[in-house]
Amino acid sequence: MKFLKDGVTHKFMADHMAKRACEWLRFMGYDVEYPDVHYDNEILKICIENNLILLTRDIEFYKRYSLSIFLDSTDYKDQVSEIISLFPPDKKLFFTRCPVCNSILVDVSTDTLDPLKYTMVRQKFKTVKYCKKCNKYYWEGSHYKKILNEINKILKFKSI
Ligand SMILES: [Zn+2]
């Protein structure tokens, strides 16, 4: 395992066995790609070309690439814990990235939202986060609170 120099923003690639961890790391603002290709060779090519740190549960795959982390546990929470102990999270980056596609979210005024579809959201919030690629809005509702609660549990466990 050899990593890029400090000061560099680390970018990751989660393989198909780390999909759930990928989503949770994105909630925490980590830049994590998820492959739209299927074969290991294709995934490796993308990792090499983009200097991505590969997160995998496949020991053979792990051995083939020096910038990779072997995820020991099958539990995504343990997997996330392992990553954040190596690469501490930046709380300023929480909820800045789309968990579905990894794009950076932008702030949009709720005035621009459909008043019929988003009545409650418009009443409660002045701005929401928006993913241009997925055409999806995110706001600090009950789902957000649940996720933040889980993240805090993981962080407390690691005492970061
Ligand atoms: Zn998206």
Report the separation in Å between the CA atom of 137 and the middle of ligand 1, taken as the mean of its atom positions: 9
Report the separation in Å between the CA atom of 55 and the middle of ligand 1, taken as the mean of its atom positions: 21
Report the separation in Å between the CA atom of 99 and the middle of ligand 1, taken as the mean of its atom positions: 7
Q: Take residue 115 and report the two structure tokens written for it.
A: 């008043």
pLDDT of residue 6: 57
Report the separation in Å between the CA atom of 69 and the middle of ligand 1, taken as the mean of its atom positions: 25
Which domains does the chain carry? 11-93 (3.40.50)
Name the burial class of residue 53, with classes exposed (0-12), middle (13-18) and buried (19+) by CB atoms within 10 angstroms of its CB.
buried
Q: Take residue 13 and report the two structure tokens written for it.
A: 């690639």
Residue 103 scores a pLDDT above 80: yes
Report the separation in Å between the CA atom of 98 and the middle of ligand 1, taken as the mean of its atom positions: 5
pLDDT digits (tens, 9 = 90+) for 42-89: 999 999 999 999 999 999 999 999 999 999 999 999 999 999 999 989
